[in-house]
Structure 1
């Protein structure tokens, strides 16, 4: 069985400083529940860092191209997920992809 790794609630990264309340509300009101979907995920592990393993080379290559994440173990098809604790919610750091900080992630079958 394999999964899709779905990212949503993507805020600008880094978050702009000095925005008015109206500008912040505009950003918040335009967040997508699903903004990026990575297919062919075998597992996600969060131990000392967060990693994601793929079931095949095509899924790994597609995800690497879409996210820019570095290889953690290329032979095992594992990427290191980029995190940023400054742009998260509470104790959960944001997942960084390009110029977005994602505060929502889920696995779907």
Structure 2
């Protein structure tokens, strides 16, 4: 989608601090970090939100979670724990209409969130 900021990051039109990239997924540092480790993990395929995922996206979804595990281990948050968040819709705080997961860690995270 031409107006999607994450699609522009994927295309290299907007710079980002990449921490991981393959043919299906891009992960980069959040510019407004809420924890010492705050990475956004996005599919390169434009998917508006969790509600747009279909059964045909099963392999992509599994791959995203494999990348989450890999990054949590590499970034040193797997042992003590981390939070994985995806917001769906404006009322939940989704500000970019492209499926993305926030990987947060490196400090104790309070509950409940928000």
Greater share of residues in strand: 1
Tell me the TM-score normalized by structure 2: 0.31
Which protein shows a greater Rg? 1
Does 1 or 2 have the higher relative contact order (CA < 8 Å, sep 6+)? Answer: 1
Greater share of residues in helix: 2
Tell me the TM-score normalized by structure 1: 0.32
